[in-house]
A and B are shown apart, each in its own frame.
Chain A
Amino acid sequence: MNKIHVNTSVNGDNLEFLCDPRETLLDALRDRLNLTGAKEGCGTGDCGACSVTLDDRLVCSCLVLGVEAEGKSIGTVEGIAEGENLHPLQQKFIEHAALQCGICTPGILVATKALLEKNPDPTETEVRYWLAGNLCRCTGYDKIIKAVMDTARDLREAS
C-alpha cells in the first residue's frame, strides 16, 4: 500500500509525515507525530475528545483524513499553554475541579478556547450548546461550565 507524504503545521511547527490514505488526522497526530493529547472516544464524531482546530475551524480529528492536513494549520491541546505558562482556561479547569478522569479535557479545552475567541461573553446556555458535542461522563458539566464562565469573565476584565 502506498503511503502519502503530508506537509502540515501543528501548533506552529512545520511537520511532515507519511500516512495511509485511510488513516484519520487523529491517527496521524497520535501515531505519526506522537501527539497523544487528542483522544479517540468514539471514532464517529460523537464525543469530541479528539477536537482540534484545522485552519482555526473546530473539528473532530477522527472525521478528518490525515492527508487532508496537507498545507493546513492544526491546533491541538499541546499548543494551548505557552511554555510553562498555562492558558487561563487550563488554570481555571484545575482551580474549579472541572475534570475528574481528564479524558475529555483536551477536547473540551480546545473547543472552549475556540468559543472564547469567537464569543468572549457567552451566556451559560451558549456555553452549554457550544460544548454539546463534547461528552463528559464524570462531572455532569457543572464545574466545567463554571470554569468556562469564570475564565471568560477574567479574560474580559483583563482586556
Chain B
Amino acid sequence: MALDNQKNREFKIVGTRPDRPDGLDKVTGRAKFGADAYATGMLHAAILRSPHAHAKIIRISTEKAEKLPGVKAIVTREDFSKKVTGENWNVLENVMAGDTALYDGHAIAAVAATSSLIARDALKLMEVEYEILPHVTDVDKAMGKSAPVIRAGASDKSVPEGLHPNVVRYHESGHGDLSAGFEAADLVIEDTFKTEATHQGYIEPHACLAQLGGDGKGELWCCTQGHFHVQKTCAALLDIETSALRVTASEIGGGFGGKTAIFIEPVALALSRKTNRPVKLVMNRSEVFRATGPTSSTSMDIKIGMKKDGTITAGSGVFRLQGGAFPGAPMEFTAMCAFAPYNLENVKQIGYDVLSNRPKQAAYRAPGSPMAAFAVESIIDELCNRLELDPIEVRLKNASREGTKASFGPKWDRIGLVECLEAAKQHPHYSAPLKKGQGRGVSSGFWFNHGGETAVTLALSEDGTAALSVGTPDIGGSRASMCQMAAEELGISYDKVRTTIADTATLGYNEVSHGSRVTYASGLATIKAARDAVKKLCARAAKKWNIDEEAVIWEDGFAKPSGPNAGDFEPIPLAKLTKSMGRTGGPIVGHFEATPEGAGVSFATHIVDAEVDQETGRAHVVRYTVVQDAGKAIHPSYVEGQYQGGAAQGIGWALNEEYIYGEDGRLQNTGFLDYRIPVASDLPMIDTVIIEVANPGHPYGVRGVGETSICPPLAAIANAVSNAAGVRLKELPMSPVRILEAIKNKT
C-alpha cells in the first residue's frame, strides 16, 4: 500500500502528543502484567536447570520430590510432542532438554505445587545424574579444530566444506572487485573487533498463567511480543490444535526482541494438562539471564580502503557470531547492515553462524546490526583521523541514497540517510567545544524494518465511538498511535477511539511485535480498516439520500454529497450514522488483513561526547544526540522515547554490559548488580532530532523507529571513547579494565 497521494495533507491528530490511553492504568498500579494474573485453584511451577555448560543427562530421579506434600506434578521432555521438526524442534529442545544439557541454565524438568515455596523446595529434591562433556563458550574457540562438537549434523547446505561442525550456517554477499578497490586506496586499515553478549534486560521476567485440559482446549495468559506466535508454537510442542488454545497477551514489561521467543509457556501448559489445574510460572531474574535472551557475541575482521579525499574504494568484513547451542545467530543481518550506509563499488561480507554452549540467542533490537556498525564505523573513524578528514563529511561523500546499490544487493528506494547526516552536521552539538579529556564520536546505523502478517478490526459503536482491535502487543506506546491514526481517518477525536490488544480468538494471525513493524504494519492496517468503515458509512448515507455511493465523500467526520449532488443534502456526522446503523443495514465494522511489504528502511546518525579518566579507565558519556529518520512521526513523544531508549541501551552495551563466563562454562553475573544496565545517574539527557523522509510504502510515510536507534551507539561511543583515550578500543564493553589495558599498550 503506497504513500497517499495527498500533497500537503494537514493532519489534525497525527503528529500531536496526546496522553496515552493506558497511562492511568500504568501510573496507578492497575495495569496487569504477566505475573499479575491469578486463578482459583492455581498451582505454582518452578523449573530445574542444568548447572553444567554441557552434559549428558543419564538419569532424572523425581521420586523424593513427588513425595513432598503439595507437589502435584513433574514434567520432563517426555511430556512434550515427539512429532516436532525444524525450528519447532529447536524451540522444544531449548524449552526442555532432551538427552543433553547444552548450556548452564538449560531446563531439565519442572514441577507444579500448591505454593511457589513448595515448588522451589521440590527442585532441591530432584536428583539428576550427569556425564559432564567438554564445553566451549567463545565464538573463535568454537570454530577451532579442537572445539567439542555441540550437535553433529546441524549445519545446513550453505556451509563450505572443511569448517568445524559448530559452523551451522554461512553467508556471503557483495559486489565489485575488492583487490582493485584496495589497490586504488591511499590508505587501507584492517583490524579485528569483538563484542560480548548482552541481554535485552527487560525489567519484567517472563511470566504466564496456563490452563489446559485433557480435551486439548486451553487458555494462556503471558507476557509476550506475539501471542499468535506463542499459540502456534505451544500447540505444536504440546501436540494440540492451534485454534483450541486461546492466548491473551498481558501488558508487557519490556521485550526488545527477547519476548519474541518462547521459554516457559509450553512448560506451564504441560503441567496444567497433567494436573488439570491452572498453573502459574514466573521466572526469577537469574533464570532470565541464564536461560533467555541474550544477543550473540561476535568476532569481526574489517578492512576498508579510502582515498585522501575521503572516497571509500573498498570494504570487506568477516563476521563470526555464536548464537548459543542452536542455529540462528543473526550473522546475515550483521553482514548486510555492516556497509549499508555506504555507496561502495567494491564490497564483500561473509558471515558465520556458530554453535557454542550458551543459551539460544534471541533477537535484541535490530539483531546483529549494532555490532557490525561498531566494527565498520570504528575503522571509518580511524581512517578519518589518519587522513585528517571530517567524519560527517566523509559519511556524506559516500552516503547511500535513492537509486544507489546497497552493499547487499538491491537498489535503495527513497531513504533519509543524507538528511540525517546533514542535520547532525548542523546540530549545535557537532560544533560545541570539547573539554580536556573528552572525545567526540559519530556513527551512522541502519536497520531494514519489517511488515509481516497483520489483521485488525475496527467496530463502530452506536454512540459514534470506535473500538479498534489489533493483534500486536503494545511494547512502547503503540496504542496511542493506533488511536491517532484511526481518529485521523474517521474524523473523530482521539479519545473516541479505544485500542485493545485482542486475543488469538478475536483476530486473524498477527506476526509478533518485532522488526519495528507495529506502527508501520498495524498502523497501515488501522488506516485501511478505518477507510473500510468510512466506505460503509458513506454507503449508509447514500442509501438515505438515494444517490450513488461514489457520490458521497467523507470529510472531517461527516458524510457529504459530492459531484452533481454537492450541497443537495445536509452532511451527516458519524455519530448520527452509527446511531441508526441497526436499522440501515446492521453493525458497521471495518477490517483489514494483509502482509504489507513496504516497510521503509531506516537510518540514523548519532553524536556522542565521552570523557575518559586516564587513571581509572572509567569512561562516561557526557552528551548524546540522536538524529533518525522516522518517515512520519505519529506520536513524536514515543518516537523520541524509542530514540532515547535505544541510545541508553547502546551506552550499556558499549560501556558496562557483558555476559561473563567462568572456565567452567557457567554464567557468573546472573543479576542486575553484576550485569549492570545503565542507571539514571550514569546518563546525560539524550537529545533527539526527528527527520521525516516519507516511506513510500505507508499511507502517511511511517517508517519503523524502534530498532535503528540501537545501531549507531556502540560505534559512536567507541569512537568518542577512543578519541578521548587517544587509542582505538576494539573490544566491547569498554570496561575500565579494557580501557586501562589499551592506554597501557598505546605505545
Which A residues fall within an 8 A CB radius of B?
A: 20, 22-23, 30-31, 34-44, 46-47, 49, 76-78, 80-81, 86, 90, 93-97, 99-106, 109, 125, 127-129, 131-145
In the complex where A100-B476, A140-B644 touch, is A86 in contact with B285 (Cβ < 8 A)?
no
Closest residue of chain A to B253 (Cβ to Cβ) is A103
Residues in A neighbouring B251, C-beta threshold 8 A: 101-103
Question: With the chains together, A81 CA to B24 CA distance in Å?
Answer: 10
Q: Of the candidates B33, B679, B680, which one forms a contact with A103 in the assembled complex, judged by CB atoms under 8 Å apart?
A: B33
Residues in A neighbouring B686, C-beta threshold 8 A: 140, 142
Residue interface mask B1-32, A partner, CB < 8 A = 1: 00000000000000001011011111111111
Closest residue of chain A to B251 (Cβ to Cβ) is A102
Closest residue of chain A to B476 (Cβ to Cβ) is A100
Question: With the chains together, A22 CA to B115 CA distance in Å?
Answer: 12
Residues in B neighbouring A37, C-beta threshold 8 A: 28-30
- Does A128 contact B680, Cβ atoms closer than 8 Å? yes
Residues in B neighbouring A44, C-beta threshold 8 A: 285, 671-673
> Would you call B35 an interface residue if the criterion is a C-beta within 8 Å of the partner chain's C-beta atoms?
yes
Question: With the chains together, A75 CA to B592 CA distance in Å?
Answer: 46
- Does A39 contact B253, Cβ atoms closer than 8 Å? yes
Residue interface mask B674-689, A partner, CB < 8 A = 1: 0001111111011000
Distance (Å) between the CB of A23 and the closest chain B CB? 7
Which B residues fall within an 8 A CB radius of A?
A: 17, 19-20, 22-33, 35-36, 38, 115, 117, 200-205, 251-256, 282, 284-285, 475-477, 635, 637-638, 640-641, 644-645, 647-649, 671-673, 677-683, 685-686
- Does B203 contact A90, Cβ atoms closer than 8 Å? no
- Does A132 contact B673, Cβ atoms closer than 8 Å? no
Question: With the chains together, A34 CA to B677 CA distance in Å?
Answer: 30
In the complex where A36-B29, A94-B27, A100-B476 touch, is A137 in contact with B203 (Cβ < 8 A)?
yes
- Does B254 contact A36, Cβ atoms closer than 8 Å? no
Residues in B neighbouring A128, C-beta threshold 8 A: 680-681, 683
- Does A135 contact B679, Cβ atoms closer than 8 Å? yes
Number of A-B contacts (CB under 8 A): 182
- Does B680 contact A132, Cβ atoms closer than 8 Å? yes
Residues in B neighbouring A90, C-beta threshold 8 A: 27-28
Residues in B neighbouring A144, C-beta threshold 8 A: 680
- Does A39 contact B204, Cβ atoms closer than 8 Å? yes
Q: Of the candidates B31, B637, B677, which one forms a contact with A135 in the assembled complex, judged by CB atoms under 8 Å apart?
A: B677
Q: Of the candidates A20, A94, A132, which one forms a contact with B23 in the assembled complex, judged by CB atoms under 8 Å apart?
A: A94
Residues in A neighbouring B19, C-beta threshold 8 A: 94-95
Question: With the chains together, A143 CA to B26 CA distance in Å?
Answer: 16
Residues in B neighbouring A31, C-beta threshold 8 A: 38
Question: With the chains together, A145 CA to B17 CA distance in Å?
Answer: 18
Residues in A neighbouring B678, C-beta threshold 8 A: 140-141
Residues in A neighbouring B35, C-beta threshold 8 A: 30, 36, 39-40
Distance (Å) between the CB of A48 and the closest chain B CB? 9
Q: List 19 extra interface pairs beyond A22-B117, A100-B477, CB under 8 A.
A: A31-B38, A40-B205, A40-B282, A42-B671, A43-B284, A47-B672, A80-B27, A81-B27, A81-B28, A100-B476, A101-B204, A103-B254, A104-B203, A133-B679, A135-B203, A136-B203, A141-B648, A142-B686, A143-B640
